[in-house]
Amino acid sequence: MNDLNSLMHASVDDARPDVDRLLAGAIRDGQRLQRRRRISYAGAGLAVAAIATVGAVTLDSHTGSRATELAPAAGAPASVTSIALGVPQTPLHAGETFDLGHGVTGTVVACKTGKADPIGGNPACLLPARYAVQGGSSLRGDGSGWAIVLTGPDQAIEDFWSNGFQDPQLNHYQGLTWALNADDPLIQPAYQGQAVAIDVPGWKLVGQVGDDKQSLEGPGGAVADIVWRKASGYAAWIQGMKNEPGTWTSTVHDGVFVTIQGSPTTTDAQIQALGASLTWK
């Protein structure tokens, strides 16, 4: 992904859009899609495809300068409606809050300064352990040194995240970091010690559960993943996966359900056999 980031920056040296903010949404979309596909063989391609849909930057036909047209937000100052990037904005203040719609609130928190990004020059935002950084900009701007901590309904935050953290009140604060409270259920792992066993000749569980996944290895180089998922996402998963081959889905058990997802070396019959043999410990 770092290579992709560098290539994207190199391709837009004249305009310098904030590729990292766009990538934040693209990567989030890729992660959500990854949970609905077989492992993760085309993550970079998904990110590139998503960038095209995240936002648009225009060049002034007379000056060639980069600018964005921002829709006015309720209660926002008039200067937000049309802003040339790079023009100083009203300074942010610690504790300031923004209504980002759909029940999502963004609270401004000051960052400690970390290492500067080698491409855009924006210093890394270092936050206390009670916060978890989820995305940010590589380009220095009026948002540098500040983080927006999001609170609100999980789905609304996911949608805002997937849209590249775009909001008319904050888009012009280039350099912002985006974070959640570290104990936010949205970023807590589904796996909380729930264990399973499989009993298919030639197949075995490998290693420990990491990032809600555990690997399976079978005969002839066949591999698969067992993936732990939160029970709250079961209905949406079933709806999205009803026509997806090569995936087996359990029922909900102890606040989670698991899926078994194969690779190109794994047949659908093998996946279904693994699922049929699965038992909860």
* CA neighbours closer than 13 Å in the CB half-sphere of residue 237: 24
CA dihedral 82, 87, 88, 89 (to 10 degrees): 10
pLDDT tens over the chain, length 281 residues? 444 444 444 444 444 445 455 455 445 544 444 433 332 222 222 222 232 223 333 223 333 332 333 333 333 333 332 334 444 568 999 999 999 999 999 999 999 999 999 999 999 999 999 999 999 999 999 999 999 999 999 889 988 988 999 999 999 999 999 999 998 988 888 888 888 999 999 999 999 999 899 999 999 899 999 999 988 888 888 887 755 668 999 999 988 999 999 888 899 999 999 999 999 98
The predicted structure's pLDDT at residue 24: 52
The predicted structure's pLDDT at residue 51: 27
Put simply, whether the predicted model's pTM sits higher than 0.85 gets the answer no
The predicted structure's pLDDT at residue 53: 29
Q: CB burial class (10 A; 0-12, 13-18, 19+) of residue 60?
A: exposed
Phi first, then psi, for residue 43 (nearest 5°) are -60, -40
Q: Which residues pair with 215 in a beta bridge?
A: 206, 225
The predicted structure's pLDDT at residue 178: 97
Region of 212 (left: φ > 0; alpha: ψ -120 to 50; beta: rest) is: left
Taking the CA atoms of the chain, what radius of gyration do you get in angstroms? 22
